[in-house]
Chain A
């Protein structure tokens, strides 16, 4: 397990570094957006990891945990790790999104459909993390969190449609905000693809690490359990 972690770690750092070098220096600036387009090698990849990868994985693991045949605490830990890393990525998606919006629309935050639903989902999963911190029996906490993850995942399409309809009526998405990912070709397209791969690997590395932390913490507690049993019995004999 440790070996895969280090390999993944090195790979993700290398890929991200390559993406940054290509994105910042090698690829040409865009015709109308100029240098600003370089954010395209960051924002879409972050959003893809945050919205689809992280929360898709969290929901999938939650379902697997709730399904009696495949129930195991590992899925609960995987789900929680995916959410925690996912929330970090969602934060960055929002930050890079609003940085990109500032020069184009003149404001840090616009009620653009994608930004709004991303923010809402971010808050939704902050609720998951809040629920996770509630002290409870591990199985009970796992069950609650799994159900919360499924609720959040089910809410994604509802949020998406209601925000998109709400937003288009509001100020017409297509008129004001140019498509965030301008049509690109050649080296830029390759770098964009690279950015997706780089951040997916980074995500995998982080989730695995977070998962390993939970595993070690859990195994630490199992060891303690056997010692706790002896201590409990000794307590009886002593009294």
Chain B
């Protein structure tokens, strides 16, 4: 496991490019293992690109970076297996049923496919919805399947892109609950959001991004189980 002192995420003036455009123009970020960080900011500020950089899906064009002891951009490939990314589109196969989707991903990650059933039960995908192809489920239900995937894979880094967007009340509570549970279980969570009132209470750190850099950083409302919280 990572030694407790080294931060789970360490970025120094990180730049990421989309073609010729610098979506990330010098990001500095430090996050500890097991902490929850919420990233606020306008559309186009670079929030999603930050998540994809942390997932090792976007090459670090310049600057320094290390996530979960994998240095970027060199060890991006090794980093990916420890990362769970959940965006607006859940990134699974519409023709397959939820359980089949999960079993495929679990087998690919060398995990026991049996985990899929209780993960789906945990997020409330049971009975008829469990046997209808993913394509025919609603956005909320698809998001739940995405969450079930994260639960089953238990990645060390959870990257959530606007997890609360377009969800009903119970599903939103489920998102917050599962995120808290994951962080308590030692996972590091980074979530972007447009709903500060929902996001801040569940976060140790809240940063705002604009113009491809981190503009402000403040502590969030979550009392870390370590009992400290520097009330700025």
A–B contact, 8 Å CB criterion (strictly below) = yes
* B42 pairs with A137, CB closer than 8 A: no
The reply on A183 being an interface residue by CB < 8 A is no
With A137-B19, A225-B22 already in contact, the answer to whether A232 and B212 are too (CB < 8 A) is yes
The reply on A35 being an interface residue by CB < 8 A is no
B73 to chain A, nearest CB (A): 11
* B25 pairs with A229, CB closer than 8 A: yes
> Can you offer 12 A-B residue contacts whose CB atoms are under 8 A?
A137-B19, A225-B22, A228-B22, A229-B25, A232-B22, A233-B25, A233-B212, A233-B213, A235-B212, A236-B211, A236-B215, A237-B211
Using Cβ atoms and an 8 Å threshold, which residues of chain A touch B15?
Answer: 229
* A229 pairs with B20, CB closer than 8 A: no
With A233-B26, A239-B42 already in contact, the answer to whether A228 and B211 are too (CB < 8 A) is no
Which interface class (under 10, 10 to 19, 20 to 34, 35 or more) fits A? 10 to 19
| Sample of 4 further A-B pairs with CB below 8 A, known A228-B21, A232-B25, A233-B25 | A135-B19, A137-B18, A138-B19, A228-B20
Complex Cα distance, B25 from A14, in Å, reads: 51
A155 to chain B, nearest CB (A): 30
Complex Cα distance, B129 from A164, in Å, reads: 60
Chain A residue at minimal CB-CB distance from B214:
A236
Complex Cα distance, B215 from A233, in Å, reads: 10
Complex Cα distance, B20 from A135, in Å, reads: 11
Using Cβ atoms and an 8 Å threshold, which residues of chain B touch A137?
Answer: 17-19
Tally B residues with Cβ within 8 Å of A.
18
With A137-B19, A236-B45 already in contact, the answer to whether A229 and B210 are too (CB < 8 A) is no
A166-185: which have CB < 8 Å to B?
Answer: none
* B211 pairs with A234, CB closer than 8 A: yes
Complex Cα distance, B42 from A113, in Å, reads: 62
Partner of B211, one of A135, A221, A224, A239: A239
Using Cβ atoms and an 8 Å threshold, which residues of chain A touch B20?
Answer: 138, 221, 224-225, 228
Complex Cα distance, B19 from A136, in Å, reads: 7
Using Cβ atoms and an 8 Å threshold, which residues of chain B touch A234?
Answer: 211
A143 to chain B, nearest CB (A): 12
Q: Chain B interface secondary structure, helix, strand, loop or mixed?
A: strand
Using Cβ atoms and an 8 Å threshold, which residues of chain B touch A135?
Answer: 19
B12 to chain A, nearest CB (A): 15
- Residue among A139, A229, A232, A235 facing the most chain B CB atoms (10 A cut-off): A232
* B17 pairs with A236, CB closer than 8 A: no
Chain A residue at minimal CB-CB distance from B58:
A137
Using Cβ atoms and an 8 Å threshold, which residues of chain B touch A139?
Answer: 59
Complex Cα distance, B215 from A224, in Å, reads: 24
Using Cβ atoms and an 8 Å threshold, which residues of chain B touch A221?
Answer: 20
B169-213: which have CB < 8 Å to A?
Answer: 209-213
Complex Cα distance, B19 from A224, in Å, reads: 12
Complex Cα distance, B25 from A239, in Å, reads: 15
Chain B residue at minimal CB-CB distance from A139:
B59
Complex Cα distance, B11 from A137, in Å, reads: 23
Using Cβ atoms and an 8 Å threshold, which residues of chain B touch A224?
Answer: 20
Complex Cα distance, B2 from A15, in Å, reads: 68
Using Cβ atoms and an 8 Å threshold, which residues of chain A touch B22?
Answer: 225, 228-229, 232
For the complex of A and B, 4 pairs with smallest distance between CB atoms: A236-B211, A236-B210, A232-B25, A235-B211
Using Cβ atoms and an 8 Å threshold, which residues of chain A touch B212?
Answer: 232-233, 235-236
Using Cβ atoms and an 8 Å threshold, which residues of chain A touch B21?
Answer: 228, 232
A132 to chain B, nearest CB (A): 15
Complex Cα distance, B21 from A224, in Å, reads: 10
- Residue among A221, A235, A236 facing the most chain B CB atoms (10 A cut-off): A236
Complex Cα distance, B212 from A233, in Å, reads: 7
